[in-house]
Chain A
């Protein structure tokens, strides 16, 4: 499923992590207790921020690779 192109592969990994984070966020919104809050801040938040960070890193790395002679 993952492509050989490094940029596309990184985007796919970021996407999968973001999907996981968003699914966890959706599940925690169904919970109304303190555990849901903890899972939201600890897991969903971390996964989403990690996914976004990986996407930005993929962009930066692809830019630097393009500039190399």
Chain B
């Protein structure tokens, strides 16, 4: 928010300086005026654009941004299901993921260029939502099967994961999970059970 305040201030300053040049273009006749015109009509607008783009990119990670499309609303509701067996809800409600970046934290790829890939995927979502033929919320599928790497980004090395009784019941299981041969989601279900939202109880949130 503080960064956005600074960007607003910079935008206001730039607008004021441009307005001065528009009102009194004769200022650019001197060499000092030419330098000022270069800063005001070239440097500052591009700086504002770059900072604005950076702020928009940061904002695009937020849960609020993802849920701003109506089609995603059921997925947002599924984060409030009052049942610890629901994977996404348990992660969201217990702050295992930052609540204000819940979608991005689990749905980005923690591989090289993962953040870029996630943002390109987001652009594709926006395109389909506004210009394509969006599916019903319950019919939305991931582009590719969920990779254990995203879970292991946080859980690898954690005692509850490494020493958990179920994970060690079969000696090969832990290695299979780590190599993505056995999916975490094979056992940890449901994730976003949007089809049964009407039958669920919902957590009201922290007071």
Contact = CB atoms under 8 A, between A and B. Distances in A.
A33 B41 CA distance: 29
Pairs A-B, 10 closest by C-beta atoms: A33-B68, A8-B25, A15-B22, A55-B41, A15-B18, A25-B52, A48-B49, A26-B11, A12-B22, A48-B45
Contacts, number: 104
Q: Interface residue tally of chain A, by bracket?
A: 35 or more
Given A22-B14, A32-B59, A37-B59, A15 B41 contact: yes
Interface residues of B, number: 35
A37 B60 contact: yes
Nearest to B34: A59
Nearest to A56: B42
Contact of A19 (B19, B26, B68): B19
B126 A34 contact: yes
A34 B41 contact: no
A29 B41 CA distance: 21
B39 to A, nearest CB: 11
B152 interface: no
A8 B46 contact: no
A32 B41 contact: no
A32 B62 contact: yes
Interface in A8-46: 8-9, 11-12, 14-16, 18-19, 21-23, 25-26, 28-29, 32-38, 40-41, 44-45
A13 to B, nearest CB: 9
A32 B7 contact: no
11 contacts: A3-B25, A11-B37, A19-B18, A22-B11, A22-B15, A25-B52, A28-B56, A33-B68, A48-B45, A48-B46, A55-B41
